[in-house]
Amino acid sequence: MLAIKKQALASASRVLFRTNVLSGLAAGAARAYHSKLYKSSDEAIEGVKSGNTLLIGGFGLCGIPENLLKAIARRKDIQQLTAVSNNAGTADYGLGTLLQSHQIKRMVSSYVGENKEFSRQYLGGELEVELLPQGTIAERVRSGGAGIPAFYTLTGVGTQVETGGIPIKYNKEGEVVIASEPRETKVFNGRKYLMEEGIVGDFALVKAWKGDELGNLVFKYAASNFNAPMATAGKITIAEVEEIVPVGELKPNEIHISGIHVHRILKGETYEKRIEKLTLRRSAEEESELPEAMKQRIHIIKRAAREFQDGMYVNLGIGMPVLASNYIDPSITVHLQSENGILGMGPFPTAEEVDADLVNAGKESVTVLPGGTCFSSDVSFGMIRGNRLDMTILGGMQVSSRGDLSNWMVPRKMVKGMGGAMDLVSAPKSRVVVTMTHTSKDGSPKILQENTLPLTGVQCVDRIITDKCVFDVIPNKGLLLRELSYGQTVDSIRASTGCSFEVASDVAETY
């Protein structure tokens, strides 16, 4: 018994000693730490060399490491880079400046978008471009940072992501000289999945709102995007921030990226914080003065807005679909998700509400409603793949009679990239609604028996809404004409549709 008492007293003494030490630290005792602070962006990129793989944070121009990219651009001796980034900024800013200076050999991206220099170099055979679904890039980078060599995903099943053959490099004659490789597949619970490998970079260049000398980072609004996963996956991560704060000022529960991931940090010299597509809320009077093409788009999207139901979680694709946020019935609540990291997205802002750190997936300025949240791209696509969304509305170039969708590429002519569309249509429990004009500019039908363009998803579309009508895709049967736009008839729809369809008994003009 005496031995037990002595042991208990010794244990109590050790606990008391530790408590006193911790109390001393909590009382304000100085903590010694190794500062990771660098004086300039030029100093911070020391060691970056030709042939490196760089992970670049940001989405469009939102949250890009402006100063670090300028520093790389000043180093003309750094060549043959591989840049892993969702996109490449604009032709004259952000990552686009490294394309202009021809310092990049290969881009690993999901979206070319409106960057004409990016598209020109790719189609002209000057640049290698490895196009991947946006959520796949986010998860490959997150996995690389977490030490996971590979994972399986539904995204891309049945498309060229699975079978290979997506052009990576053209020659001057427009012939494909490097193409993507087929993916390894495996069946889980009766469904086919693709294997994707984790990505790790030699350097990660990221941008945050605030940081301290330990490398702890805080992002603002949607500027978390790809910055958060990229920060974890660099062998050396360099973070630039708008504000350096004293160690301890950032509360533990406020920190988004722990300093363990960050090797170098600096206060950015200057910030332009450009907005790629400054978009403001329109009044009813302004809408009436819009060009006919825009009025046609609004006509389609107002019908699409009727798809919303109270309490739904919905993703709106770039372009026409995102306009639906302005036409939600005010009597219902719809939680809009933008894949770059917003839930609770509101309408376009007024001039006074504009914030460069709040953009949607189309790089347009937006607002966030009360109760909304912002998060990183890997978290966003976890919501999508995890079937948290009730519905996705996205645009299309072609839809087949069985619901196959094409919306990302016209080989050798136009390359937008798949963006997040492949991820969105692969979620098996999310309803997919496609909005598009019924015919192309030349009058040719966009609803066909079989798609002629590369696929975004196989048998994934549930409903098609055009300027002429509404079709439902009935599994194993084909298309059913549900509604007509005012002025349309069943015969006019047959004349402008490239496949056969059935007609609902109650079909009528409804919009």
User: CA triplet 122, 126, 127: central angle to 5 degrees?
Assistant: 55
* Nearest one of 153, 156, 155 to 186, comparing CA atoms: 153
Q: What are phi and psi of 84, to 5 degrees?
A: -100, 110
E strands present in 85-230: 104-109, 128-131, 150-153, 167-170, 176-179, 185-188, 191-197, 201-211, 217-218
Which region holds residue 167: left if phi is over 0, alpha if psi is between -120 and 50, else beta?
Answer: beta
* Distance (Å) of CA 185 to CA 163, 188, 384, 460: 10, 10, 21, 19
DSSP state letter for 331: T
User: How buried is 295 (Cβ within 10 angstroms: 0-12 exposed, 13-18 middle, 19+ buried)?
Assistant: middle
Active site residue 130: no
Q: Which helix (H) or strand (E) holds 10?
A: helix 2-26
Give the integer Cα–Cα distance in Å for 423 and 406: 13
Identity of the amino acid at 361: A
Q: Please state, in angstroms and rounded to a whole number, the distance separating the CA atoms of residues 342 and 315.
A: 10
Residue 280: how many CB atoms within 10 A of its CB?
A: 15
Which residue is catalytic, options 339, 352, 364, 509?
A: 339
| Block residue for tokens 């569309």 | 421
Angle at 146 between CA 51 and CA 56, to 5 degrees: 40
Could you say which DSSP state residue 456 is in? Answer: S
The helix/strand/coil state of 166 is coil
Alpha-carbon distance of 287 to 281, in angstroms, equals: 10
Nearest to 490 by CA among 475, 509, 477: 509
Count CB neighbours of 143 within 10 A.
22
CA distance 295 to 438: 15
Mutual angle of helices 134-145 and 377-385, in 10-degree steps:
120
Q: Which residues are catalytic?
A: 339
